C-alpha cells in the first residue's frame, strides 16, 4: 500500500519550499478555497493526513469499516497526488488507481472476505437470526468494468498520441533505441537488459510495432471478453519491461492489470478460489474397518 502512496518527506519538502502553487490542480483549488494554505500545507498537518490515510488503508485491507475506509484512503491519496502535481511536472499514472479505489468505496466491497463479514456473521449467530447472504451482488463487478474502460481509454489515448505526433516513424526502431538507451543509463531498474535491447535494431522495430498494436487495440477486449485476459497479462508484462529497461515506474498499472487478470471473470475466479481454499481444509474421514469373514 505504501509502495503506491506518495512520499511524505517529498510532500513536506514541496509545501515548505514553495509559498504558492504554480499549477494548482482542481482539488487543490477546492481545498484552498475552504482552508487557508498556511493552516494545511505544513509538516504537521501533512503528517496527520498521511497517517490518517495509512490507517484507512490498513482498515480497508483487512475489511474493517471497508467502504468508509476506502473512501478516506482514496480522498487522501488524491489530495497528495494533486498537491505534488500543483507545482508542475504533471503525470497520469496515479489517476486510474485513484478512480478505481474511489469506485470500490461505492461498491459492495467487504461483504464477503472481510472483518466486517465476520462481525456480521457473529452477530447473526448470537441473535439466533438467519444470516443474510451478501456474498454475491450484481454491483460487485462495476468497479472492475469501470477500470477496464478507463484502461482502454488511457492506452488508446497514448497509442493515438504516438501516431499523431510521431507518425509511422515512431515505429522505425531508431526512436525506441534512443529512448531505451538514454533511460537505461540514467534510471532503468535493470540497465543491462535495456542496453542489450537498445543494441538490437530489429527487436526495437518489433517492440515498437507491438507497443502501438497493444495500446491502440486494447479497447477490443471490451467487446471480446475472451481476449481480455491476454490483454491484461500483456499489460502486466508491458509495464514490467518498461520498468526494467527504461525505469518507468507504472506500478499502479501493473497492479490494476493484475487485478483484472485475476478477478475479471467471476466464474473463473470462484473456481480458482475454491481450489486454493480446498488445500487448507482439514478433511476427516472415518477409516474403514477390515471386513471380518
What is the band of 273 on the pLDDT scale with cuts at 50, 70, 90?
low
Residues 6+ apart with CB under 8 A from 69: 56, 57, 59, 60
Instruction: Cite the DSSP H helix spans in 128-265.
Output: 142-166, 174-186, 191-198, 201-217, 220-223, 228-246, 251-263
Cα separation values, 163 from 123, 155, 169, 181, 210, Å: 59, 13, 8, 21, 13
Q: Helices (H) and strands (E) in the chain — how many of each?
A: 15, 0
**Confidence (pLDDT) at 1:** 62
272 CB-side CA count, 13 A = 9
Cβ-proximal residues to 79 (8 Å cutoff; 6+ apart), any chain = 27, 31, 49
User: How does the average pLDDT of the chain come out, rounded?
Assistant: 88
**Residue 289, pLDDT score:** 44
> Are 172 and 205 a contacting pair, CB within 8 Å?
yes
Tens of pLDDT, residue by residue over 157-198, are 999 999 999 888 899 999 999 999 999 888 888 999 999 999
pLDDT tens by residue, 111-142: 888 898 888 888 888 877 766 666 677 788 89
Cell, residue 43: 509538516
Distance CA 241, CA 239 (A): 5
Residue with more model confidence, 203 or 265? 203
| Nearest residue to 94 via CA among 104, 103, 82 | 82
Name the residue among 171, 293, 186 with its Cα closest to residue 248: 186
Q: What is the dihedral of CA 182, 188, 194, 198, to 10 degrees?
A: -10
pLDDT tens across 205-257, in order? Answer: 999 999 999 999 999 999 999 999 999 999 999 999 999 999 999 999 999 99
Of 63-72, 96-105, 120-129, 152-161, which range is least confident?
120-129
For residue 131, what pLDDT is reported?
63
| pLDDT value, residue 269 | 67
Q: Say whether pLDDT at 276 is over 80.
A: no
C-alpha radius of gyration, the chain, whole number? 24
The answer to whether 92 touches 154, Cβ cutoff 8 Å, is yes
Report the candidate in 155, 151, 103, 133 with the shortest Cα–Cα distance to residue 260: 151
Q: What is the pTM of this model?
A: 0.85
Q: Which residues contact 171 (CB under 8 A, 6 or more apart)?
A: 205, 208, 209, 212
Residue identified by cell 519491461 is 241
Residue 206: the pLDDT is 96
Say whether pLDDT at 81 is over 60: yes
pLDDT at 133: 60
CA dihedral 210, 216, 221, 224 (to 10 degrees): -100
Amino acid at each position: 500500500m505504501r509502495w503506491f502512496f506518495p512520499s511524505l518527506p517529498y510532500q513536506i519538502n514541496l509545501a515548505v519550499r514553495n509559498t504558492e502553487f504554480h499549477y494548482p490542480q482542481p482539488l487543490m483549488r477546492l481545498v484552498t478555497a475552504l482552508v487557508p494554505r498556511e493552516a494545511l500545507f505544513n509538516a504537521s498537518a501533512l503528517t496527520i493526513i498521511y497517517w490518517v490515510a495509512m490507517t484507512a488503508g490498513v482498515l480497508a485491507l483487512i475489511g474493517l469499516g471497508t467502504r468508509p475506509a476506502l473512501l478516506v484512503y482514496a480522498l487522501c491519496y488524491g489530495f497528495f497526488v494533486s498537491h505534488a502535481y500543483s507545482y508542475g511536472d504533471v503525470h497520469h499514472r496515479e489517476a486510474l488507481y485513484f478512480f478505481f479505489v474511489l469506485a470500490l468505496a461505492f461498491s459492495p466491497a467487504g461483504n464477503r472476505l472481510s472483518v466486517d463479514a465476520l462481525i456480521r456473521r457473529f452477530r447473526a449467530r448470537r441473535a439466533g437470526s438467519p444470516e443474510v447472504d451478501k456474498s454475491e451482488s450484481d454491483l460487485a463487478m462495476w468497479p472492475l468494468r469501470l477500470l477496464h474502460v478507463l484502461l482502454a481509454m488511457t492506452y488508446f489515448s497514448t497509442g493515438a498520441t504516438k501516431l499523431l505526433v510521431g507518425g509511422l516513424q515512431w515505429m522505425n526502431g531508431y526512436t525506441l533505441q534512443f529512448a531505451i538507451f538514454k533511460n537505461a543509463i540514467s534510471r532503468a531498474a535493470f540497465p543491462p537488459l535495456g542496453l542489450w535491447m537498445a543494441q538490437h535494431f530489429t527487436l526495437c522495430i518489433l517492440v515498437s510495432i507491438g507497443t502501438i498494436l497493444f495500446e491502440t487495440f486494447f479497447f477490443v477486449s471490451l467487446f471480446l471478453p475472451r481476449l481480455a485476459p491476454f490483454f491484461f497479462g500483456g499489460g502486466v508484462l508491458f509495464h514490467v519491461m518498461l520498468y526494467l529497461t527504461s525505469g518507468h515506474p507504472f506500478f499502479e498499472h501493473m497492479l490494476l492489470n493484475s487485478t483484472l487478470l485475476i478477478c475479471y471473470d467471476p466464474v473463473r475466479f470462484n473456481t480458482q478460489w475454491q481450489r486454493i481454499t480446498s488445500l487448507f481444509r482439514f478433511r476427516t474421514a472415518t477409516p474403514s474397518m477390515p471386513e471380518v469373514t
